[in-house]
Amino acid sequence: MRTVGVEEELLLVDRESGEPRALSSAVLARAARDTGENSGAERQADDYREPEEETFERELHGQQLEFATQPRSDMADLADEVARWRADAARHAGDVGAAVAALATSPLPVSPAVNTGSRFQWMEEQFGLTTQEQLTGGCHVHVSVESDEEGVAVIDRIRSWLPVLVALSANSPFWQGNDSQYSSYRNRVWGRWPMAGPTEIFGSAERYEEQVAEMTATGVLRDRGMVYFDARLSHRYPTVEIRVSDVCLEATSTVLIATLARGLVETAARDWRAERPPLPHGVASLRLAAWRAARSGLEDTLLDPVTMRPAPSDEVVRGLLDHVGEALEDAGDLDLARTTAEDLLKHGNGARVQRDLLERTGSLREVVKECVRRTSPV
């Protein structure tokens, strides 16, 4: 059974106003005092770290807090851990007068504060406004692989299915106090990094490593930790890291994304062993599929991952479930995945929930307050 680990990036907000607050250092210090761990204040985004290190860590901006689960083979255990760390994050934030919200962008206007440290400062100097505006919250899923060769074969075969995860997880409709007209505007902001996005078919681990070496040799990237492919070989763990999803408003949606990610990896590995080739779509088509998913979410058409032609979002989501159905069934996850996916199709993802809240309350502050409650319900 492949193991799965999840990293979630949460937004720190004022408990009363809902405005983002740059309190990550204070929250990490509070967490360290409670647990006796290192506060994570010195570790920076994409630094190497070991699995036994602390749960919470700081991210690029002071208004963010990230946590990482342990590798799990049972999805019920993963669900329990995600809920626990969200609750702990809320408690630690509350101790310093803040709250946490699983929002992939801030609905309210914000002036992002880049954290101190050599890595973050290098990024700000190198990429300017792109770095300053990257106050976005993602959900990264690590799925174990047996080797780099298997991992690259997986990356080659899951490329066209990843936009469906974008649509399911979409949770960032607002940007600087306005409706962006996207379901996942985070996806569009993240795409400003020159090293982010879909990849060509590599064909081998050797070619993958050559590509990474070519990119880092340009000097545009600080190191291989800044290779922001939609799916990449982790530089920390023996995993494929899938990086396309928004942080989900509901923890149940996080578990669905992790479940589907494992299903995609297992299905791709089986296809590789059976010598079934990857779909031959070019990067240009994959970029269009990602744009369509970010724009539509679950509200309109998506591009079918096999044909790259428009299709209703519910059909595309069910097509993904069919594609990974055998792997999900073997893992005992099929019924739960289907139930959770159908619930999302019926009631909407985080983007739909946020827009419905705004329509009902007329206030983005109320949107944030309700999202705080949903992030870690009592």
Per-residue pLDDT for 41 more than 70? Answer: no
Average pLDDT on 132-138 reads 97
Count of beta carbons in the 10 Å neighbourhood of residue 60: 26
pLDDT digits (tens, 9 = 90+) for 170-226: 999 999 999 999 999 999 999 999 999 999 999 999 999 999 999 999 999 999 999
- Predicted local distance difference test score (pLDDT) of residue 378: 67
Residue 306 to residues 162, 204, 270, 287, 372, Cα–Cα distance (Å): 12, 22, 18, 15, 38
- Predicted local distance difference test score (pLDDT) of residue 123: 97
- Predicted local distance difference test score (pLDDT) of residue 160: 98
At what angle are helices 251-273 and 162-169 packed, to 10 degrees?
170
Q: Cα–Cα–Cα angle for 315, 272, 164, nearest 5°?
A: 25
- Predicted local distance difference test score (pLDDT) of residue 43: 45
- Predicted local distance difference test score (pLDDT) of residue 266: 98
Which of 278, 251, 238 minimizes the C-alpha distance to 350?
251
Contact (CB, 8 A) for 251 and 136: no
- Confidence band (pLDDT; 50, 70, 90) for 33? confident
Q: What is the rounded CA–CA span in Å between residue 5 and residue 73?
A: 9
Per-residue pLDDT for 53 more than 70? Answer: no
Count of beta carbons in the 10 Å neighbourhood of residue 200: 12
Exposed / middle / buried, residue 205 (Cβ in 10 Å: 0-12, 13-18, 19+): middle
CA dihedral 90, 94, 96, 102 (to 10 degrees): 40
Length of the chain: 378
Residue 362 to residues 175, 366, 374, Cα–Cα distance (Å): 16, 8, 19
> Average pLDDT of the chain?
94
- Predicted local distance difference test score (pLDDT) of residue 236: 87
Per-residue pLDDT for 336 more than 80? Answer: yes
**Tokens matching residue 16:** 């009363």
Return the CATH architecture of domain 4-375.
Answer: 2-Layer Sandwich (3.30)
Q: Cα–Cα–Cα angle for 175, 378, 253, nearest 5°?
A: 50
Exposed / middle / buried, residue 291 (Cβ in 10 Å: 0-12, 13-18, 19+): middle
Per-residue pLDDT for 142 more than 60? Answer: yes
Residue 41 to residues 45, 116, 140, Cα–Cα distance (Å): 11, 10, 21
Contact (CB, 8 A) for 234 and 142: yes
- Predicted local distance difference test score (pLDDT) of residue 49: 39
- Confidence band (pLDDT; 50, 70, 90) for 321? very high
Amino acid, single-letter form, for residue 378: V
pLDDT digits (tens, 9 = 90+) for 270-318: 999 999 999 999 999 999 999 999 999 999 999 999 999 999 999 999 9
Contact (CB, 8 A) for 227 and 195: yes
Per-residue pLDDT for 110 more than 70? Answer: yes
Q: What is the rounded CA–CA span in Å between residue 323 and residue 326?
A: 8
- Predicted local distance difference test score (pLDDT) of residue 237: 93
Average pLDDT on 151-173 reads 98
Q: Between β-strands 228-229 and 196-197, what pairing exists: parallel, antiparallel or unpaired?
A: parallel
**Tokens matching residue 218:** 């340009």
Q: Report the percentage of the chain scoring pLDDT > 70.
A: 94
- Predicted local distance difference test score (pLDDT) of residue 48: 31
Per-residue pLDDT for 14 more than 80? Answer: yes
Model pTM score: 0.95
- Predicted local distance difference test score (pLDDT) of residue 153: 98
